[in-house]
Structure 1
Amino acid sequence: MTQTIQSYIGGRWQGTQAASALRSAVNGTTIAHTHAEALDFGEAVEHARRKGLPALMAMDFQERAQRLKALAKYLMEHKEQLYAVSAHTGATKVDSWIDIDGGAGTLFAYASLGSNELPSGNLVHEGPVFSIGKKGGFSGTHVLVPRGGVAVHINAFNFPVWGLLEKFAPSFLAGMPCIGKPASATSYLTEAAMRLIVQSGILPEGSLQLVIGGTGDLLNRLNGADVVTFTGSADTAARLRVHPNLIAHSVPFNAEADSLNCAILGPDVNPDDEEFALFVKEVAREMTVKAGQKCTAIRRAIVPAKHLDAVCEQLAARLAKTTVGDPADERVRMGPLASHAQQADVAERIALLRQDAELVYSGKTDWVGDGTAQGAFCAPTLLACRKPMDVDSVHTIEAFGPVSTVMAYDDLDEALALAARGQGSLVATLVTHDTAVAAQAIPVMAAWHGRLHILDREAAVESTGHGSPLPTLKHGGPGRAGGGEELGGLRAVKHYLQRAAVQGSPTMLSAVTGEYVRGAKVNNTAVHPFRSYFEDLQIGDSLLTHRRTVSEADIVAFGGISGDYFYMHFDEVAAKDSPFGKRIAHGYFVLSAAAGLFVSPAPGPVLANYGLDTLRFIKPVGIGDTIQARLTAKRKIDRKKVDAKGVGQGVVAWDVEVTNQDGELVASYDILTLVAKRT
């Protein structure tokens, strides 16, 4: 009895009648069916808008970050259930780790990004503030706010868990309810992950829905507040991009498409160099991890013509050691392709590639494990093209499996031209130990490749590899790769937010952004701002300090303490010949003296100063100048955290302006502090 997997739409599981059979990639047995019932996508979109969106907007960035962290922990605690299902996709333990643990890891990463880098509330002040009027009464800035729409995520078959979660994490953080649609071939694993998510009860209802099967009229129901993302083939991306409704409503569409990624062996590398072995290892790994079914896998290995045979020989020897079969067998290092349809497609494309490339290596077909003869296996296949500038197929045809073509070049310029023949890729690797080669190649490669991985003996110690997208770095590429971007830290969150320019008085901009803007009205409090607890402190609470005149003794003492005897501070003759025409105080003395002016020394709610931002020394401070500081509460972030004693605390950023006796700004910066709560 096989399972009929279900969609999760409108707050309930839907679909009981079996439709298309989904076969185990390992032995061909039917393990699940998609459901036959048609879905009401009007209900799905309405549920996201009416239920999911209000629930998400009732929380702020900080609270949504906490939910992501809790969900990541829950999935990690129950991941063995997913590993058991993942085995049917042909994934080895390493493959499943990338997909399942990698998906949870992305949730953790965005939880951390949200907690550390996003404000309380649902508006991001992107800044900076520009003074538009001459008198300082009219300014402009930029803000980012939730779009108020729905994110539709259409995913590929190769990463059923990570594919869902890496798109969901930044969308959820940005306050957008999501509808995820996995590729059918491995959707049973995505559904298993979704069941855990629903079971956890961590996400608000309507914030994530799951579609099994086709998308029907879903895209017709979207409007300009919504977003569509796609991962898969370049052909499908091209069709979706011109969907009439998406065009009519200017619905943002982000594509991450399979591409002909490459690796270049630098002209400086010889067979006895460490980098040569690293190149061979990297190409072989990209061919065999996930059976080569990665949108980032190396499809073209570009090597100096004089080393082509040596590269092919070493690659073939390494691939020959790769045991292929049922991942349940501990000897196996590469499993099957994800489906039998994929198996047929890869075989067809290998045949097309062989018209312009010679076969160097094709592994044995005696797969390890019972029943594997009916599995969707494909032997690692290595091809070679000695005249790649004269043919097109190796630069246009992608076999989405354990297949790569080694191609020869005569000089570095030709290697770069060959890399560009792929018409845009997600990632390219350059293996070199010559900094001059890297400095010449990378600016050229950056125009055609979304991520550039420079590998040598130094980087290899910690390198995450050619094919590993990271939450902190952008994932995407130009041209054939889709022209889109995912991940990249907060960049991904901003893709799901709407940017708007705002103009008004500094006071109005402060009220709108929840952040003090220079020139806005301040509240000169009777109580020192450092004596206020987090809850009591208001944006704009301010202190104008007493004055201090800088003396020569101050400069001499600070030089003795710091060891900074720069001539501008101590050499009267040289200082007169400088643009300032006189000796000046150390910038860091001004910083320290300002702290002495505004710090409240007694123990109190301000617990610690943990950093400075935007520090600028605007004008020099000379001997005899008098300085004064203004300290103003600029921004508050409630991260909902407590210390070891259970005392709550928040983050407060303080705007500091240091002026001279003429009212001129001499130093400007933000101080970041932890401030205790009363309760």
Structure 2
Amino acid sequence: MPNNKKENNDLSLPFRRTGGKLGNYVTGNWVIGDGDGQALHDAVTGETIAYATTKGLDFASILQYGREVGNTNLRKLTFHERGRMLKALALHLMEKKDAFYQISYHTGATKADSWIDIEGGIGNLFANASLRRKFPDLPYCTDGDPVGLSKGGNFIGHHLLVPKEGVAVHINAYNFPVWGMLEKCAVNWLAGVPAVVKPASITSYLTEAVVKEIIASGILPEGALQLLCGSAGDLLDHVMAQDVVTFTGSKSTGLMLKSNKTILEQSVPFNMEADSLNAIVLGADAEPGSPEWDLFVKEVRKEITVKAGQKCTAIRRIFVPEHLLEDVNIVLGKALAQTVVGNPLNDKVRMGSLASSGQRDEVRSNVQKLLASSQIVYGSLDSVEVMDADAAKGAFLSPLLLLNEKPFQNEAVHEVECFGPVSTVMPYKNLDEAIQLVKKGKGSLCCSIVTANDKIATEFVVGAATHHGRILVLNRECAKESTGHGSPLPMLVHGGPGRAGGGEEMGGVRGVKHYMQRVAIQGSPTTITAITQQYQPNAKGVQSSIHPFRKYFEELQVGDQIVTDKRIITSADIDAFAALSGDHFYAHKKDTDFSGTMFEKQVAHGYFILSAAAGLFVDGSELGPVLLNYGIDELRFTKPVYAGAELTIRFTCKEKLPQDPKDENDIPKGIVKWLVEMLDESGEIVGIATILTMVKKKNAAQSEGEMEKKPG
């Protein structure tokens, strides 16, 4: 390693000492790389503000440290502990967000742009923290339902998910230096896997500032996060089969990284999110003057100008009914003309600069390729009027609207992406053509259709779905609450087929599973119950002289079980329940002619059987740990119950889920799932349900007792 010089934790440091090097946080230390490094510039002024270098770092040791220290520490924690860790980190970063905004302006981002990056990134931490409730309070979890493998029911299979024993290597794009890191790390941390983050160098100074605060907080266990500000060097040459690599950026760079010899030989999972030619379609019903017309104009303008068009999800292709082509060009041109470009620190500015002059030059070069078959209908490629800034020094570019009148003949518009404030309008004749045209992008992260016609929406979504990772149907009903075309959401998958990289990330529980190993397990129901901490059908119950409802949350064991006394179901019971509930379905009447029906005679209501079951298994005549009935997850009635049947209940603790106190006055408690098996006199199951109760924790009762003992 180069010198282990500790970095100052001052967030504004890189901008107060022009020309200073960014720190790399590796193997538990802030380390400065060797050599001069890459110069990083203020996107607005062109001033050199820092240098980034990883020269001299031992990438093999960095990865090994992550596996041995970070992975070991994280995989010991349960999902609930990891989730609470994410929440604590989100709250901490929210307190520091103002400092991040000040640094973000140097990337050319306006305050609105920075909100997406900074608070959007922190929002991913919050969203994944709440996701812990979908998982057990264990370091691992089951996947799907158990599978019976024998006639007698004593040999079953299940699927288990355990954290991978490697690290998540994230190679991120320059456009979202905060969101790009946190949206990925939130997921791998929840899964129990540490991260090595390699942000794009040109905006890595903002990523470094956030990581400084994360490390300073002490919230994450040691080794959970490492940061590389500079070149990735030979990092990927040292990955192993238990690692996961993700990449966000251009298709060409992604393919180069994905073809790394070590990644191929070790079968390392590689998730690629490549920039794509995302599209929006104006439905044929969205005529000028309609709410959908206005929504369309607003959405297109936003997607062209937010982050100066530097979003992997930004709209690059605009498809409109051919008879509305001229109207659309005029109205979009007027909308873009209202966009003030300039210094993002100025409150009047609505679009800042691109992230660097190099990125601006690349956009100009790609626009020139499009102009071979398209024409500019708004904006200028060579000049732009800016407010409170020098257009020559900053990476500014005018919003550009292009027109291509023959989208089926000209392929460049479906192949060349301009990663900036550029989009092309094209006509279509009918919905089939619109579907064909959006598919010509050969795979996109997202697509939108603006329509109030559900038939059009259905036909389009089903037809276009194969080529897109996400589709937004935008109309007046959802507009006020819609998050928009370009906003990936933590609980929905992000990624896309083909050109978009063929990858998938986020997506709630789905995303967490990308960092876990799925293994099929086989054994007896009792053994599988012990492993999964979820009661499996036919497992041996745990008998106790204490009724389960008399036990506190901590005292309950998965498998605690009682078998109740019998109750004879009578015709009078059925009549009384019908009178009480008002349910006089023909099968519950004893004078019904049952010829040609599924029943032999008067049958008991299913809900009466469940109610009778509760009367048999509930023990709540005195105040106890059970606070309330929380609900029913699953309920099935599997066999008719006739008058004269003898009902017995097998009642078993199925799973325990702790709950976090809402505030200091909340009662410590958890949710307990119970398997309710309703049996008749032959021992056959006539009904089965999973009910939930809220159960007090023992320490809550002790605390209440201590309060009572205190002098008043």
TM-score under structure 1 normalisation?
0.97
**1:59 aligned counterpart, secondary structure:** coil
Provide the rounded CA distance (Å) in 1 between the counterparts of 2:688 and 2:630: 17
Q: Of the candidates 519, 527, 546, which is equivalent to residue 527 of structure 1? A: 546
Q: Which residue pairs with 1:399 in the alignment? A: 418
**C-alpha contact (below 8 Å) 2:54/2:232 kept by paired residues:** no
Provide the rounded CA distance (Å) in 2 between the counterparts of 1:543 and 1:647: 27
Asked whether 1:330 is paired with 2:347, we answer: yes
Q: CA 1:461–1:545 in 2, change beyond 3 Å: closer, same or farther?
A: same
RMSD over equivalenced CA pairs, Å: 1.5
Q: Which residue pairs with 2:227 in the alignment? A: 210
Q: Which residue pairs with 2:186 in the alignment? A: 169
Shift of 1:36: 5.9
Shift of 1:587: 1.9
Asked whether 1:622 is paired with 2:646, we answer: no
Matches within 5 A, 1:404-483: 404-483=423-502
**C-alpha contact (below 8 Å) 2:43/2:355 kept by paired residues:** yes
Shift of 1:571: 7.2
**1:459 aligned counterpart, secondary structure:** coil
Asked whether 1:596 is paired with 2:615, we answer: yes
**2:528 aligned counterpart, secondary structure:** helix
What residue identity is the alignment partner of 2:535? Y
Q: Which residue pairs with 1:187 in the alignment? A: 204
Q: CA 1:445–1:574 in 2, change beyond 3 Å: closer, same or farther?
A: farther
Q: Which residue pairs with 2:668 in the alignment? A: 648
Shift of 1:646: 6.0
Q: Which residue pairs with 2:511 in the alignment? A: 492
Query: 1:78-112: per-residue Cα shift (whole Å, max 9, x none)?
Result: 10110000000111111111110011110001000
Q: Which residue pairs with 2:166 in the alignment? A: 149
Q: CA 1:529–1:642 in 2, change beyond 3 Å: closer, same or farther?
A: farther
**C-alpha contact (below 8 Å) 2:590/2:601 kept by paired residues:** no
Q: Which residue pairs with 2:657 in the alignment? A: 637
Shift of 1:217: 1.8
The range that moved more, 564-573 or 240-249, is 564-573
What residue identity is the alignment partner of 2:261? P
Query: 1:108-130: per-residue Cα shift (whole Å, max 9, x none)?
Result: 0100001x111111120223111
Query: 1:288-346: per-residue Cα shift (whole Å, max 9, x none)?
Result: 11111111111111111001111111100000000000011111001111111110000
Q: Which residue pairs with 2:534 in the alignment? A: 515
What residue identity is the alignment partner of 1:318? A
Provide the rounded CA distance (Å) in 1 between the counterparts of 2:177 and 2:662: 36
Q: Which residue pairs with 1:41 in the alignment? A: 59
Matches within 5 A, 1:69-468: 69-114=87-132, 116-362=133-379, 365-468=384-487
Consecutive unaligned residues in structure 1, runs of 5 or more: none
Q: Which residue pairs with 2:705 in the alignment? A: none
Q: Which residue pairs with 1:50 in the alignment? A: 68
What residue identity is the alignment partner of 2:598? P
The range that moved more, 669-678 or 251-260, is 669-678
Give the percent of matched residue pairs that are identical in Structure 1 and Structure 2. 50
Asked whether 1:563 is paired with 2:577, we answer: no
Provide the rounded CA distance (Å) in 2 between the counterparts of 1:258 and 1:164: 17
The range that moved more, 589-598 or 570-579, is 570-579
**2:387 aligned counterpart, secondary structure:** coil
Provide the rounded CA distance (Å) in 1 between the counterparts of 2:437 and 2:262: 38
Shift of 1:166: 0.5
**C-alpha contact (below 8 Å) 1:53/1:207 kept by paired residues:** yes
Q: CA 1:235–1:574 in 2, change beyond 3 Å: closer, same or farther?
A: farther
Q: Which residue pairs with 1:605 in the alignment? A: 625
The range that moved more, 46-55 or 556-565, is 556-565
Provide the rounded CA distance (Å) in 2 between the counterparts of 1:97 and 1:446: 30
Provide the rounded CA distance (Å) in 2 between the counterparts of 1:357 and 1:464: 31
Q: CA 1:544–1:77 in 2, change beyond 3 Å: closer, same or farther?
A: same
**2:408 aligned counterpart, secondary structure:** helix
Shift of 1:256: 1.0
**Paired residues, what number?**
678
The range that moved more, 276-285 or 74-83, is 276-285
The range that moved more, 669-678 or 497-506, is 669-678
**2:304 aligned counterpart, secondary structure:** helix
Provide the rounded CA distance (Å) in 2 between the counterparts of 1:623 and 1:406: 72
Q: Of the candidates 551, 555, 558, which is equivalent to residue 570 of structure 2? A: 551
What residue identity is the alignment partner of 1:199? A
**1:467 aligned counterpart, secondary structure:** coil
What residue identity is the alignment partner of 2:131? L
Provide the rounded CA distance (Å) in 2 between the counterparts of 1:461 and 1:71: 30
The range that moved more, 239-248 or 27-36, is 27-36
TM-score under structure 2 normalisation?
0.93
Q: Of the candidates 35, 40, 46, which is equivalent to residue 28 of structure 1? A: 46
Shift of 1:644: 4.9
**C-alpha contact (below 8 Å) 2:54/2:231 kept by paired residues:** no
The range that moved more, 252-261 or 626-635, is 626-635
The range that moved more, 580-589 or 278-287, is 580-589
Query: 1:452-484: per-residue Cα shift (whole Å, max 9, x none)?
Result: 100111111211100001111111111111111
**C-alpha contact (below 8 Å) 2:90/2:126 kept by paired residues:** yes
Provide the rounded CA distance (Å) in 2 between the counterparts of 1:334 and 1:619: 66
